[in-house]
Structure formats: structure tokens, C-alpha cells
């Protein structure tokens, strides 16, 4: 069966080509995608392209852009079998994580990709990333999508989007998913890791999107020597609603009385604090050491093996629902889209 795919181009390096006359990088017109890549006609897919306006460098992406992307997917959901989102690599993991939360009851593939080298440059990595992302978005097994979740494809590997981080500003394999295996590995064939892929319940309700993302999130990365006054200022910032606390190792932090007191005061004021490890690989276990136990005892939530990108966007999503405290904590304590393994 032929699949129909909507490509949503948001901006980033993948959308640039070298102007033949001036040699400067100019935007690539994705609506001419078949002219540029005639080989795409050989894939068993029909492709439409939508360009978001304005296209942005992903360093400028905002929660409003994420909602606009979710709305675009919702509005086109019935007409397409899958979606490919072309995005700058710098913040792709944030956007893709945000979309994994905003798209509720998703049952179709949404594959993010981009490139380190512009698509119009001879040695680009964008051509392969784009073509394989399209193939994955259109892949079906028994009439149902092969990967019905928000994923990120880069350099031969497909990841769950909310498990990724950009880890290299240079290498073509720019993304890593240290705490969750790839959903697919691409060689001569595309080898899907079927047990790792999230599938909706048989009776899953219709796609819904959330359009409210909370502001007031802060990331506090600990370092030896972090000062009391600085931490106090950070934890009493006006409008603060939640903190992603990037701790040492398996979720450890200083045990100094002032440190714990400042955290406890913030939590008592209603600020949610989620503990993630700044190691990237591995997980937070707050009961392992005294230094983690203190955090747990003052109400810090365990982020398990979640990335900072997933923690930030999950907090925006969950707090955007404006639920009572007990329900908010319940949503923060359980994985909603496979973003952590408890
Ligand atoms: N600055 C670009 C962006 O993130 C880099 C890229 O696309 O790789 O939009």
C-alpha cells in the first residue's frame, strides 16, 4: 500500500543549499523536492511539503512554535499516514520531546530529522537523513504504522525522540540516546527493534493536542562551589514553577544545611523539583547515597533516566494542565510517553 507523508519544514541547516552563482548558503525550496531528489519517486510514498512561516534557526524555537507544529499535525492528521519534521539540530531534541507530550493518543509516525551539513552541499548528510526518515514515516506492517510514536532519525539510527540529546556540534552522528536503545538501525535494511517501539492501545481514542505549555521552568546544574546566594536567587526567581535539578552521578547533591533548606523552602512554596543526572548516561537512584536521600526526603521528584530536554518539556506540558498538586505529582512520577524507565 502507498503511504502519504507530510513533510513539515521548520528551518535549520538541512534547508540550505549553495547558490550556484554566489556560493552563499540560501534556503532550499522543499516544494521542489522531487526535482532535487528524483530518486524519491522510487519510494512507495506520496509526499506533500508544508513550510512553516517564518522558517527559523532552531535556537529561536519557542513553546508557541511547538504548539503551532502540533496544530499543523492535528489539522492534517486524517489525510496522512505519517509526518516528517525537518528541524535545526541545535534544539531538535527539545522540540521533538515537546511534541511527544503535546500529541496525545498519537497513533501515526512523526519522525524528526535534520542535518549537520546543508542539503544542497555535495557531502551533505541531509539527503540520507531525509530519504530514510520518509521511508520510516511511511513504513507499515500489516496495514499499521511501524513506528507510531514521535521519533528522531539521524545517521543510521532511529531513536525515541524524548530519549535524545544533541551530543556533538561536529560529528554527523550528532544525537545520542544513552538510556534507551534505538527503535531502528539502518544498514542495508532497516532493522526495527519491535519490542522497543511504543504502540497505542487497540482502542486508542482520537489524536488530541495540548496547547498550553507552562512557563517558569528553570534548569539548575550543580557544580562544586555553587553558592548559597546564587542558588537562593535562582530558587526565588519571580514566576518560578519548576526546577530541573541536574545533579551529580546517580542523583547526588551537597548535603549542606543551607542547600537542603533552600530546596525545601522552594518546594514548600509549590515549586516542583525534578532530579536528573548530569551524566547523561545512567539513572538517578536517590536512595543510594545519603546525598540523594536528603533530596528525596525534602520532596524532590526522581527523574530516573530522563534527559534534561524531556524533563523541561514534560514539566511545561504537565504544569500547563493546571491540575491540583496530587494529580500533577502523579503525572510527573510516571512515564507518559516512554520518556523514562522507572
Ligand atoms: N543552527 C542550526 C539550527 O539548529 C543548526 C542545524 O540545523 O544543524 O537551526
Give the model confidence (pLDDT) of 4-52 as tens digits.
Answer: 999 999 999 998 887 788 887 777 888 888 887 888 888 889 999 999 9
Cβ–ligand 1 distance for 15 under 6 Å, the answer: no
Cβ–ligand 1 distance for 13 under 6 Å, the answer: yes
What span, in angstroms and rounded, lies between the C-alpha atoms of 158 and 146?
A: 12
pLDDT tens digit sequence for 188-219: 999 999 999 999 877 677 999 999 999 999 99
CA of 119 to the centre of ligand 1 (A): 12
Supply the pLDDT for residue 20: 80
Supply the pLDDT for residue 287: 84
Supply the pLDDT for residue 238: 97
Supply the pLDDT for residue 173: 96
Supply the pLDDT for residue 33: 83
Question: Which is more confidently placed, 132 or 142?
Answer: 132
Which residue in the list 10, 13, 89, 247 is annotated as catalytic?
A: 13
Supply the pLDDT for residue 289: 84
**What single DSSP character describes residue 104?**
E
Any idea what the Cα angle at residue 302 is, between residues 297 and 305, rounded to 5°? Answer: 150
Classify the phi-psi angles of 282: left when phi > 0, otherwise alpha if psi is within -120 to 50, otherwise beta. left
Supply the pLDDT for residue 292: 85
What span, in angstroms and rounded, lies between the C-alpha atoms of 209 and 319?
A: 15
Supply the pLDDT for residue 200: 87
Cβ–ligand 1 distance for 89 under 6 Å, the answer: yes
Supply the pLDDT for residue 44: 87
Among 56, 57, 116, the mutation site with the greatest number of ligand 1 atoms within 8 A of its Cβ is: 57
pLDDT tens digit sequence for 138-148: 999 988 999 99
Q: Coil, helix or strand for 67? A: helix
| Residue 132 is among the residues annotated as catalytic for this protein | no
Supply the pLDDT for residue 266: 98
Supply the pLDDT for residue 172: 96
Judge whether residue 282 has pLDDT over 80. yes
pLDDT tens digit sequence for 220-245: 999 999 999 999 999 999 999 999 99
Q: What number of CA atoms fall less than 13 Å from residue 222's CA on the CB side?
A: 21
The closest residue, in CA terms, to atom 4 on ligand 1 is 88
Which atom of ligand 1 has the smallest separation from the CA of 13?
7
Cβ–ligand 1 distance for 125 under 6 Å, the answer: no
Give the distance between the most distant pair of CA atoms in the chain.
65
CA of 58 to the centre of ligand 1 (A): 6
pLDDT category at 332 given cuts 50, 70, 90 is: very high
Residues in the chain, overall count: 342
CA of 60 to the centre of ligand 1 (A): 10
Supply the pLDDT for residue 67: 98
CB atoms within 10 A of CB 184: 24
The closest residue, in CA terms, to atom 7 on ligand 1 is 88
Edge-to-edge strand ranges of the sheet holding 242-247: 217-221, 242-247, 272-277, 301-302
Helices and strands (H, E) in the chain, number of each type: 9, 20
Supply the pLDDT for residue 42: 86
CA of 296 to the centre of ligand 1 (A): 38
CA of 291 to the centre of ligand 1 (A): 38
Judge whether residue 303 has pLDDT over 90. yes
Which grid coordinates are listed for 137?
A: 514515516
Judge whether residue 182 has pLDDT over 90. yes
Which grid coordinates are listed for 119?
A: 542539503
Supply the pLDDT for residue 17: 80
Supply the pLDDT for residue 272: 98
Supply the pLDDT for residue 195: 97
pLDDT category at 298 given cuts 50, 70, 90 is: very high
The closest residue, in CA terms, to atom 1 on ligand 1 is 57
What span, in angstroms and rounded, lies between the C-alpha atoms of 71 and 102?
A: 10
Q: Coil, helix or strand for 294? A: helix
Supply the pLDDT for residue 286: 87
What span, in angstroms and rounded, lies between the C-alpha atoms of 320 and 338?
A: 19
Strand partners, 113: 86
Supply the pLDDT for residue 35: 82
Which grid coordinates are listed for 13?
A: 541547516
pLDDT tens digit sequence for 94-128: 999 999 999 999 999 999 999 999 988 889 999 99
Which atom of ligand 1 has the smallest separation from the CA of 174?
8
Residues contacting residue 183 through CB under 8 Å, at least 6 positions apart: 147, 149, 151, 158, 159, 160, 192, 193, 196, 197
Among 58, 112, 164, 171, the mutation site with the greatest number of ligand 1 atoms within 8 A of its Cβ is: 58
Amino acid at each position: 500500500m502507498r503511504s502519504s507523508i507530510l513533510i513539515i519544514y521548520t528551518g535549520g541547516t538541512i534547508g540550505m543549499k549553495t547558490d550556484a552563482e554566489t556560493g552563499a548558503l540560501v534556503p532550499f525550496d522543499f516544494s521542489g523536492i522531487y526535482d532535487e531528489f528524483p530518486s524519491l519517486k522510487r519510494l512507495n510514498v506520496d509526499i506533500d511539503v508544508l513550510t512553516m512561516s517564518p522558517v527559523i534557526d532552531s535556537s529561536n524555537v519557542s513553546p508557541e512554535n511547538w504548539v503551532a507544529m502540533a496544530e499543523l499535525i492535528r489539522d492534517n492528521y486524517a489525510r496522512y499516514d505519517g509526518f516528517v519534521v525537518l528541524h535545526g539540530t541545535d534544539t531538535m531534541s527539545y522540540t521533538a520531546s515537546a511534541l511527544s507530550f503535546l500529541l496525545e493518543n498519537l497513533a501515526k509516525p512523526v519522525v524528526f530529522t535534520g542535518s549537520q551539513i546543508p542539503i544542497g552541499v555535495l557531502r551533505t548528510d541531509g539527503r540520507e537523513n531525509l530519504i530514510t526518515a520518509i521511508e520510516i514515516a511511511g513504513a507499515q506492517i500489516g496495514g499499521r504504522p511501524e513506528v507510531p510514536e514521535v521519533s528522531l532519525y539521524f545517521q543510521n539510527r532511529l531513536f525515541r525522540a524524548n530519549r535524545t540529546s544533541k551530543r556533538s556540534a561536529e560529528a554527523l552522528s550528532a544525537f545520542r540516546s544513552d538510556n534507551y536503545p534505538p527503535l531502528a538501525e539502518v544498514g542495508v535494511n532497516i532493522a526495527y527493534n519491535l519490542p522497543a517501539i511504543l504502540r497505542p492501545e487497540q482502542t486508542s481514542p482520537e489524536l488530541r493536542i495540548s496547547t498550553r505549555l507552562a512557563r517558569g521552568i528553570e534548569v539548575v546544574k550543580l557544580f562544586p562551589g555553587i553558592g548559597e546566594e546564587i542558588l537562593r536567587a535562582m530558587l526565588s526567581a519571580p514566576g518560578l514553577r519548576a526546577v530541573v535539578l541536574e545533579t551529580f552521578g546517580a542523583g547526588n547533591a551537597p548535603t549542606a544545611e543551607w542547600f537542603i533548606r533552600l530546596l525545601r523552602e522552594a518546594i514548600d512554596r509549590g515549586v516542583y523539583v525534578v532530579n536528573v543526572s548530569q551524566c547523561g548516561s545512567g539513572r538517578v537512584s536517590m536512595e543510594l547515597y545519603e546525598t540523594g536521600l536528603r533530596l528525596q526526603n525534602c520532596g524532590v521528584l526522581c527523574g530516573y533516566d530522563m534527559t534534561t530536554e524531556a524533563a523541561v518539556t514534560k514539566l511545561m506540558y504537565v504544569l500547563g494542565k493546571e491540575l491540583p498538586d496530587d494529580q500533577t505529582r502523579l503525572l510527573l512520577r510516571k512515564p507518559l510517553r516512554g520518556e523514562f524507565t522507572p
